[in-house]
């Protein structure tokens, strides 16, 4: 049985690696010939918008899924007219537009930061009257890892931000004074079965996820239920199939939704070693209509992204409980090239391991050349 995957990045690569034990085969579509998934599975290189490419990609596939949420909706709809595509294209449409996404959350009674649609300079000034400072001005589309957004601390920041971002559809958001950032990964299968992973605590630097702790330490069951209820409402409304990630802010003991990703997610990488069933395996089980696997955590995990640096493999592996994943990418500044998951039975051991790991990472200069 061959599964087609739109996007051939590390998420796709890890999907394929999770699918082989289940007897699955994969074909990826990516515009870039060096896409990481191409090292472990068949890769069609071409433009998502090119119908001859889509036809060649789709030939003989069982079904199609995606690992990249900025695939043109038109391409996904075209494919969905010919064979099954999961998650549904409607989920992609909502997730690609920050305004549609926040409006969708609001319609389901899910709290979000105060937001305001900005098309013109006047809209921006009107919006700022409501949000006050600080506020964030973001592009509605194609923003990720903190790209395409400007923090407005005071009036002095308004004109420079407008000069940089104005002229495209934007959204203004009140800055949320959150205590921490969390995410909930959930999964819904073709049969309607649902499962939820424990909440994850996420730490960002420069807008990029740097570290995840799972299960999120010191998290009351009430917060877990709240997050599950949000994810459930989103999945039911969209008749969702597959893994869904929702990024959340914890504000005075309540949860607000920031954004959702209709795919496997970086904050779920810990599940490969740290949960009974990984997010990648559960995504495949869901899209194939197979029973979902248990989502319980096995002990405590910390996942560290390797961003623009390539630490010595042996130095990492000598740390007890460390699991290293390289994505087969050349090292460049700011680029996610791999991750390490540390797993321990006790939180104290996890913290000790994290100290050792941070020390090893500090030994490695950033953006060192690829050596092997």
- 25-30 β-sheet, strand order: 42-45, 25-30, 2-6, 63-66
Question: What length does the chain have?
Answer: 372
Stretch of 24-32, 101-109, 172-180, 262-270 lying at the interface with ligand AMP (CB under 6 A): 172-180
> Residues 322, 340: contact at Cβ < 8 Å?
yes
Stretch of 89-97, 171-179, 236-244, 351-359 lying at the interface with ligand AMP (CB under 6 A): 171-179
Please give the Cα distance from 156 to 172 (Å, whole number): 16
3-state secondary structure of 13: helix
Query: Which of 160, 167, 207, 365 lies at the binding interface for ligand AMP (CB under 6 A)?
Result: 207
Q: Does 208 bind ligand AMP (CB under 6 A)?
A: no
Nearer to ligand AMP, 67 or 173 (CB): 173
Query: Which of 30, 67, 101, 181 lies at the binding interface for ligand AMP (CB under 6 A)?
Result: 181
Query: Which of 90, 176, 251, 352 lies at the binding interface for ligand AMP (CB under 6 A)?
Result: 176
Write the DSSP string, 59-108.
Answer: TT-SEEEES-TTS-HHHHHHHHTTS-BSS-HHHHHHHT-HHHHHHHHHHT
Joined together, the tokens standing for residue 209 give 């996820």
Nearer to ligand AMP, 247 or 273 (CB): 247
Q: Is the peptide bond before 87 cis (omega within 30 degrees of 0)?
A: yes
Stretch of 24-32, 44-52, 175-183, 211-219 lying at the interface with ligand AMP (CB under 6 A): 175-183
3-state secondary structure of 193: coil
Contacts with ligand AMP, 232-251, as mask; x by CB under 6 A: ---------------x----
Q: Does 113 bind ligand AMP (CB under 6 A)?
A: yes
Interaction residues for ligand AMP, span 248-287 (CB under 6 A): 258-259
Please give the Cα distance from 240 to 236 (Å, whole number): 6
> Residues 89, 73: contact at Cβ < 8 Å?
yes
Query: Which of 42, 69, 175, 251 lies at the binding interface for ligand AMP (CB under 6 A)?
Result: 175
Please give the Cα distance from 353 to 137 (Å, whole number): 38
Query: How many residues lie near ligand AMP (CB under 6 A)?
Result: 13
Stretch of 19-27, 169-177, 211-219, 288-296 lying at the interface with ligand AMP (CB under 6 A): 169-177
Interaction residues for ligand AMP, span 125-144 (CB under 6 A): 136, 143
Q: Does 226 bind ligand AMP (CB under 6 A)?
A: no
Residues 6 or more apart in contact with residue 19 via CB below 8 angstroms: 3, 25, 26, 280, 281, 284
Stretch of 59-67, 75-83, 168-176, 278-286 lying at the interface with ligand AMP (CB under 6 A): 168-176
Which parts of this chain interact with ligand AMP (CB under 6 A)?
A: 113, 136, 143, 146, 173, 175-176, 181, 204, 207, 247, 258-259
């Amino acid at each position: 049985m061959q599964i087609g995957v739109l996007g051939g990045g590390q998420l796709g690569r890890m999907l394929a690696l999770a699918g082989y034990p289940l007897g699955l085969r994969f074909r990826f579509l990516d515009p870039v010939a060096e896409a990481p998934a191409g090292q472990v599975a068949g890769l069609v290189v071409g433009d998502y918008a090119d119908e001859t490419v889509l036809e060649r990609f789709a030939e003989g596939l069982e079904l199609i899924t995606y690992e990249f949420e900025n695939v043109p909706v038109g391409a996904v709809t075209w494919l969905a007219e010919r064979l099954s595509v999961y998650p549904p294209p409607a989920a992609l449409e909502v997730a690609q537009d920050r305004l549609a996404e926040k409006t969708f959350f609001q319609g389901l009674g899910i709290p979000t930061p105060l937001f305001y649609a900005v098309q013109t300079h006047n809209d921006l000034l009107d919006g700022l009257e409501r949000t006050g400072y600080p506020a964030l001005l973001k592009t509605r589309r194609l923003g990720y890892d903190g790209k395409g957004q400007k923090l407005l601390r005071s009036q002095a920041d308004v004109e420079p931000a407008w000069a940089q971002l104005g002229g495209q559809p934007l959204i203004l958001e009140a800055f949320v004074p959150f205590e921490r950032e969390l995410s909930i990964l959930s999964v819904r299968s073709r049969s309607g079965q649902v499962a939820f992973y424990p909440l994850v605590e996420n730490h960002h630097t420069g807008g990029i996820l740097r570290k995840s702790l799972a299960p999120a330490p010191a998290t009351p069951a009430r917060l877990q239920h709240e997050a599950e209820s949000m994810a459930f409402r989103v999945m039911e409304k969209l008749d969702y199939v597959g893994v869904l990630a929702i990024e959340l802010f914890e504000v005075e003991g309540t949860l607000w939704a920031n954004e959702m990703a209709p795919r496997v997610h970086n904050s779920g990488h810990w599940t490969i070693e740290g949960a009974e069933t990984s997010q990648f395996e559960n995504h495949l089980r869901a899209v194939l209509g197979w029973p979902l696997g248990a989502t319980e955590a096995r002990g405590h995990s910390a996942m560290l992204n390797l961003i623009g640096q390539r630490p010595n493999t042996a130095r990492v592996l000598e740390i007890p409980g460390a699991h290293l994943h390289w994505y087969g990418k050349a090292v460049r500044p700011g680029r996610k090239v791999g991750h390490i998951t540390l797993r321990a039975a006790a939180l104290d051991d996890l913290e000790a391991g994290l100290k050792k790991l941070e020390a090893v990472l500090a030994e490695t200069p950033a953006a060192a050349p690829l050596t092997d």
